[in-house]
Structure 1
């Protein structure tokens, strides 16, 4: 009898360990393409979560609130079920027939072509003066999303009014130049937009009307930054060299439509609409190992369009790339291009 009980306990223990190892020891594998081959819709499979889906397709799991906001039929982001269909692209990226289009319009070398860009971050040379913070919410969850109610504590509450909008942001880190190690400023990441509904003597009641990432209590507010901008390419007025010092995405490998930051700004003559060639030299396979790399010719690997300028930095959108762009790559602006 004791032997049977011991065997039974051993079987239960082994079953628990097997369940634990499946739940925590295995990485969920999602079917379908990755990177630039992001589908319009995704069919949920057993074991999927919004976090893992965003990690798989965007390499940014914290993007899950944006995907949740695109799928109003998902009432609880922590519960999605096999057979559910999730939209992975913003409605603004859909054509009239519902087919996903590239979100940008661009023709290399031509002026007057309108470029629609997404503004979710930039570098500031000096610390921002916050307009207040998103302090509270009646909701119980840690991460807030589209249409959630929030309460704002504003630095100038008497001037607040119904309909006024603020961008919610975080300071991610200091941006250090890859070559000189100088601190160029702080990287600002915009998480969403809130709109005031009512104001009382103590705070403003608002609603989240746009979500681009995880929004939490305690995040700072600034004057609304337009999420979509229309930029017309313009002719470069001077020759200039610079470097890719950081990017909006934490990924080391950057590609077309990623946002990068360049160590040249208005004080160096950079204007919105200017175009930089992205350059690199060396052997692609042994890039960091061969001393002879420094004697090889520079090759053009991509192009970027300037969409925001600051005193000593610029935000640019990679409009085309032959290979992955990286922090530390050179950029050049050619006069009359």
Structure 2
């Protein structure tokens, strides 16, 4: 099974509902210069190099030699960091995790939980919660709501993706054209900021608050230049004062100047970070890094957020882990003459945390060498 972007004919219409997690970015994502990514996929080992169509047997889970027998979960831990204490490949967490059906939330791990390492009857390694006090509850007010005092640990550091959870969108050109927009302010200014009063059209506004975006630079398929969608540049919020045509809004929490023509989108609820866990993408998955979200820094490092040209239509989902490989290069042979193609070396690991139809957002979990735009992403 090969689900690389280049092997599938996909539609170009993006679905807003496919934007699972959203992020904040006051500048448009940096994209690579046009041109194909000149790398070859890494050779598959074992059965994958044999009979065509055969599915390779998964390699045994490799434990760290210094893994503990028990570990008490601490505040600030992530699922990835805990997995790294036990496994050489943290994304294979699912293969050793044993759910405890007697627990109220067997898939969630909380600070204070004691994790117990052992082997099952077949000699396979496993990890489970050895003991747990019930998570305390706080009743805030009579018959209003009850909240847990302790939050489950997230798969990745919250502060690395929190700014991108509810403040980024990728829409098609048609979708952008159909979104409501700001017409003008009440004082004939060219740019607007927080506390300015503005007017908007294009929708029956029924939400108290909206987010303000500006369409950014279109995302393109490396090599084919196929259109993959247009990301939104987050600018701030607009509070509805009065619906109508035009409707009246007051701007708030602006992080960049707002202008006439900027778009309004409803605020989406933040999806729980513990709703996914690390696991490898299907075999033979191939794609490319096409943009980066944190444009304030020039280098791609650990916990940088990137956009890859793989999405829901390739079966990508939050928690999928991909290996990053640098592009191969061609050099002159100093002895025999002619040229020789050098393979791209593995540069790091990327975990997907937000999925659209045709593209996904991922977080660099490991940076082993320089990572660049148009580097390839594939099965780890």
For Structure 1 versus Structure 2, the TM-score category normalised by the shorter chain is 0.5 to 0.7
2:200 and 2:287 mapped to 1: Cα distance?
40
1:327 alignment counterpart: 373
User: Gaps spanning 5+ residues in structure 2: where?
Assistant: 1-24, 29-75, 85-89, 94-107, 109-152, 334-338
2:79 and 2:247 mapped to 1: Cα distance?
39
2:286 and 2:188 mapped to 1: Cα distance?
50
1:144 alignment counterpart: 192
1:28-43 aligned at under 5 Å gives the runs: none
2:68 alignment counterpart: none
1:131 alignment counterpart: 179
TM-score scaled to structure 2, two decimals?
Answer: 0.50
Change (3 A) 1:242 1:144: same
1:278 aligns with 2:321: no
CA displacement at 1:222 relative to structure 2: 2.2
1:290 aligns with 2:331: yes
CA displacement at 1:229 relative to structure 2: 6.5
Root-mean-square deviation (CA), in Å?
3.7
CA displacement at 1:105 relative to structure 2: 8.6
Figure out how many residues of one structure are paired with residues of the other and give that number. Answer: 228
Q: Deviations over 1:153-174 (max 9, x none)?
A: 2x233xx23x522222122222
Q: Deviations over 1:140-192 (max 9, x none)?
A: 65443334332222x233xx23x522222122222222223322222332222
1:19-34 aligned at under 5 Å gives the runs: none
Give secondary structure in 2 for the equivalent of 1:131.
coil
1:302 aligns with 2:348: yes
1:315 alignment counterpart: 361
2:264 and 2:340 mapped to 1: Cα distance?
45
1:261 and 1:311 mapped to 2: Cα distance?
12
CA displacement at 1:128 relative to structure 2: 1.4
CA displacement at 1:272 relative to structure 2: 1.4
1:218 aligns with 2:261: yes
1:256 aligns with 2:315: no
1:188 and 1:62 mapped to 2: Cα distance?
9
Change (3 A) 1:209 1:186: same
1:156 aligns with 2:233: no
Change (3 A) 1:320 1:195: farther
Change (3 A) 1:210 1:319: farther
Give secondary structure in 1 for the equivalent of 2:273.
strand
TM-score scaled to structure 1, two decimals?
Answer: 0.56
1:319 and 1:194 mapped to 2: Cα distance?
34
User: Does the aligned pair in 2 maintain the 1:245–1:262 contact within 8 Å?
Assistant: yes
Change (3 A) 1:210 1:266: same
1:194 to 203, 216, 238: 238
Give secondary structure in 1 for the equivalent of 2:313.
helix
Q: Deviations over 1:284-322 (max 9, x none)?
A: xxx6x7367974344222222212212221122223423
User: Does the aligned pair in 2 maintain the 1:305–1:316 contact within 8 Å?
Assistant: yes
2:210 and 2:294 mapped to 1: Cα distance?
23
1:226 and 1:212 mapped to 2: Cα distance?
20
User: Gaps spanning 5+ residues in structure 1: where?
Assistant: 1-59, 64-101
2:223 alignment counterpart: 179
